[in-house]
Structure 1
Amino acid sequence: MRQKHNIFELYADNLEMLAEKLSDVLGRPVTVEDANHRLVAYSSHEPETDPARLATIVGRRVPDTVISSLWHSGVIARLLESEDPIRVPAMKEIGLSERVAIAIRSNTGVLGYIWVVEAEGPFTEEEMGVLKQAAAAARVRMAQWQMQRHKDEGAQADLFWQLLTGHLQTESLVREKAAKIGITLPSLFHVVVLQFASDVKERRQQQVLERFSAEAHFRIVFRAVDKSELVLLCTPLVYKTRTDVVLRLEAMNRNLQAFFKEEYRGLASGGLYNDYSKLEASYQEALLLLQIKQRFQEETAGVVYYADLGFYRYLPLLWQESRKHGSNNECVARLRAYDLEHHSELLHTLTVFLAHDSNVKTAADALHIHMNTLNYRLKRISEVGGIDLTDMDQKVTLYLDLKAEKFGDG
């Protein structure tokens, strides 16, 4: 059977002309990017566009907020795995309207991407085939582009996002990818996330790097931006025990707080690892620590290292288990119902009492009531809730259930 002619072969040596031709055929705006999300070519045919495309054209690269959202939503992972075009839903929060995208492939991997805005309705199957032809025609020229540029920051950022999202599953594959872009990975690492009150711009990144450089205790291997969060892959330079690393992180946290003041929301570090297949785990630990710190600001104010969370790191699992089985603590439910009916504060009293290690004096002080008043309330708590306040197991269960509930309601 005779192979169908590729209408884009005449434009294979000039990606700008290829983008224009594809746009003419489809009647939609076209953008061509390399594998590191740098702008390579784009069409001038713009019946309709969106902020994400405009920002890419102006900045000559896809904005960090768009890249991070595409990774988190799984769009990039799908593109890396598919040889066919995929539909990308709108993400209004980052200015991205509906698109169809396809990876430009070589025998060794992905060279870049073609993105087409669905400006005039969904793609037909025939249009999907046209886009696939364009990607095939662009392959040789994109390979030349990658050979010229593959060792710059874009390649590093893309590798870092692959690691953060668990796209690279083995230590050997990670080191192979790093070697290809000229990166020597340290033996010990942890992911640190810095959270700010607003989106992280380039100037703020530089200020953070200056602070880390001045301390000279950590080296930043990679960095990425996810809206208001700056994500760093760090390696300790001198002090490599957990205790030493935590002390240095605490000092850095104070330094950043003093420098950025109210714009700074905090620092969180995942665990130390020496296996790069665990990098995603370190990232998720740092994100969970930030989440816990937001829910329990007073209790975890000084915590910067995931393992130091203690039982707080298990609260998401406790909450999920409770939601999964639809089970609530019956003692807590009875106290809440009683408080609602009688406008009392038995549940709050119990929470404070447990938080102060069942010490009547310190709990009464915290509640600003007399010890006799507290003793009376504790008696009513036992009666209404069916609680034995001398039973340690029951108190621990109540304490954890109340904490898990607060985490879920946060």
Structure 2
Amino acid sequence: MEENPFWGSGNLENLADNLRDMLHCPVTIEDVNHRLLSYSSHDSHTDPARINTIIQRRVPEKVINRLWQEGIILKLMQGEEPVRIDGIEDIGLGNRVAVSIRKNNEVIGYIWVVDEEARLSDEQLKLLKMAADSARSELLQIHARKKKKQEGYQDFLWQLLSGRFTTREAVEEKFRQLNLEIPASYAAVVFKFKEDISNKIEQRIGYILKTNQHVSVSFFVVVQREIILIVSPYMNKQTLAEKEVSRFIHFFTEEMEEKFNAQNILGASGSVYEELNKAVKSYQEAQEVIRLIERFPSELKGVSSYPELGILRYLDVIFEKKSKEGYEHPAIEKLVKYDKQNKTNLLETLEVYINNDSNVNDAAKVLHVHMNTLNYRIKRIAAITDINLKNTNEKMSLYLDLKLKRLEESTRL
């Protein structure tokens, strides 16, 4: 068996330097989530992708996405042999050779070599494989340390979400004990899958979370079909904007579908807070968004945050009052009776019309009818119910009562 010249390198920094000396090419070593672990020196002619990776301590998102699109990451994940990569000029990537670092069939990291002249020989590719074999033990130690730390983080997350901390000072003390940076602002985020999350899916989730460059993920935990996260501002940003959280939610669901074919994931966030002891409130708000999206998918299409719920945030309170009073909107009762007797769907027409802010064109598209047909139905509804659909208060009352009716029907199921 050929002796591995990289045994005894000591650490990943020495390994990267030793490999560079043997291959005469710049080297970087990354974990499975494309975070930079070590890198060798390079001359002044290296490409922008390498420079940005070293500065950011991770591979830029646009580079990761392009490598996925080109099938390069998938090829590295599926095989043990080094992969030659032609330069991709528009993302600043020169010629590369890469190899995965593996433990059995699991990829735990990568070694990337800048091969400017595409000249690495078969013997040099063997050296690259040996370097990957040597790097395995060091990466496994790093992984074990991270896993132990992550377990402590998850305990802390559950303490936050259960409301164990009542003061900001108590939370800050725990942050200091765990050597964590205290975020200036944060939000709880929940992703709900259609099925229980397997270990394989959890690994893919971790990959997407750690390669995202929209928010910093302070903590995350998997519970059956849900992922619960605390997110904070990305890198050096001081405050977390709700639009950034929404972009992250969209990014996550899109990446999971495109890269791993995980479909129909619901994502939601609570409000952004500065007070750390309000994590439980943000988490409860995110859960409320998920619950309402499941009950009102058309009305809340595109909604992902608690503030975006609008008046539907108060639906449960209004529902409770309605249940105590036994009130039924007379216009809705008349339309239910009329539809039943005449086999029409005027109540549905009314709800779609109000949902679309009385826009005849938009409502007609949803109902798949001509605008003239819809205008006739609206006049018929007004005649049957004696309501004024130009009156904001009447429309708002009808909107709420229609939602309450659907909420009541769903609770009977």
TM-score, normalization: structure 2? Answer: 0.56
Question: 1:254 maps to what in 2?
Answer: 254
Matched position secondary structure for 1:403? helix
Question: 2:384 maps to what in 1?
Answer: 384
Q: 1:320 aligned to 2:320?
A: yes
Question: 1:208 maps to what in 2?
Answer: 205
Q: Rate the CA distance shift 1:323–1:261 in 2: closer, same or farther, 3 A.
A: farther
Matched position secondary structure for 1:243? helix
Question: 2:74 maps to what in 1?
Answer: none
Question: 2:276 maps to what in 1?
Answer: 276
Question: 1:165 maps to what in 2?
Answer: 162
Query: Would you say the 8 A contact 1:212–1:218 is kept in 2?
Result: no
Matched position secondary structure for 2:271? coil
Task: Please tell me the residue identity of whatever aligns with 2:183.
Answer: P
Task: Please tell me the residue identity of whatever aligns with 2:208.
Answer: R
Aligned residues: 260
How far does residue 408 in structure 1 lie from its aligned partner after superposition? 4.2
Task: Please tell me the residue identity of whatever aligns with 1:189.
Answer: Y
Q: 2:217 aligns with which of 209, 215, 220?
A: 220
Structure 2 residue ranges without an equivalent (≥5): 1-147
Query: Would you say the 8 A contact 2:335–2:385 is kept in 1?
Result: yes
Q: Rate the CA distance shift 1:237–1:228 in 2: closer, same or farther, 3 A.
A: same
Q: 1:242 aligned to 2:224?
A: no
Matched position secondary structure for 1:278? helix
Matched position secondary structure for 1:396? helix
Question: 1:344 maps to what in 2?
Answer: 344
How far does residue 332 in structure 1 lie from its aligned partner after superposition? 0.9
Question: 1:403 maps to what in 2?
Answer: 403
> Deviations 1:343-381 (Å, cap 9, x if unpaired)?
222211211222233244543454344555444433332
Matched position secondary structure for 1:221? strand
How far does residue 258 in structure 1 lie from its aligned partner after superposition? 1.9
Matched position secondary structure for 1:316? helix
Query: Would you say the 8 A contact 2:338–2:344 is kept in 1?
Result: yes
Distance 2:174 2:368 in 1: 61
Distance 1:323 1:225 in 2: 36
Please list, as runs of the form range in 1=range in 2, the aligned pairs for 1:285-304 lying within 5 A after superposition.
285-304=285-304
Task: Please tell me the residue identity of whatever aligns with 1:159.
Answer: F
Matched position secondary structure for 1:193? strand
Question: 1:44 maps to what in 2?
Answer: none
Matched position secondary structure for 1:272? coil
> Deviations 1:235-262 (Å, cap 9, x if unpaired)?
1224533334433433333222323434
How far does residue 279 in structure 1 lie from its aligned partner after superposition? 0.4
Q: 1:191 aligns with which of 188, 195, 202?
A: 188
Question: 1:120 maps to what in 2?
Answer: none
Question: 1:80 maps to what in 2?
Answer: none
Task: Please tell me the residue identity of whatever aligns with 2:216.
Answer: R
Question: 1:307 maps to what in 2?
Answer: 307
Calculate percent identity across the aligned residue pairs.
Answer: 32
Query: Would you say the 8 A contact 2:360–2:375 is kept in 1?
Result: yes
Distance 1:382 1:353 in 2: 13
Query: Would you say the 8 A contact 1:236–1:245 is kept in 2?
Result: no
Matched position secondary structure for 2:301? coil
Please list, as runs of the form range in 1=range in 2, the aligned pairs for 1:2-401 lying within 5 A after superposition.
152-238=149-235, 239=237, 240-401=240-401
Task: Please tell me the residue identity of whatever aligns with 2:389.
Answer: L
Distance 2:272 2:353 in 1: 36
How far does residue 287 in structure 1 lie from its aligned partner after superposition? 1.0
How far does residue 285 in structure 1 lie from its aligned partner after superposition? 1.4
How far does residue 322 in structure 1 lie from its aligned partner after superposition? 2.0
Task: Please tell me the residue identity of whatever aligns with 1:252.
Answer: F
Query: Would you say the 8 A contact 1:350–1:378 is kept in 2?
Result: yes
Q: Rate the CA distance shift 1:259–1:317 in 2: closer, same or farther, 3 A.
A: farther
Matched position secondary structure for 1:358? coil
Q: Rate the CA distance shift 1:318–1:260 in 2: closer, same or farther, 3 A.
A: farther
Distance 2:356 2:397 in 1: 15
Q: Rate the CA distance shift 1:267–1:370 in 2: closer, same or farther, 3 A.
A: closer
Distance 1:367 1:325 in 2: 33
Query: Would you say the 8 A contact 1:257–1:266 is kept in 2?
Result: no
Matched position secondary structure for 1:222? strand
How far does residue 280 in structure 1 lie from its aligned partner after superposition? 0.8
How far does residue 170 in structure 1 lie from its aligned partner after superposition? 1.5
How far does residue 169 in structure 1 lie from its aligned partner after superposition? 1.6
Moved more, 280-289 or 324-333: 324-333
Q: Rate the CA distance shift 1:152–1:248 in 2: closer, same or farther, 3 A.
A: closer
Task: Please tell me the residue identity of whatever aligns with 2:182.
Answer: L
Q: Rate the CA distance shift 1:368–1:267 in 2: closer, same or farther, 3 A.
A: closer
Query: Would you say the 8 A contact 2:214–2:247 is kept in 1?
Result: no
Matched position secondary structure for 2:218? strand
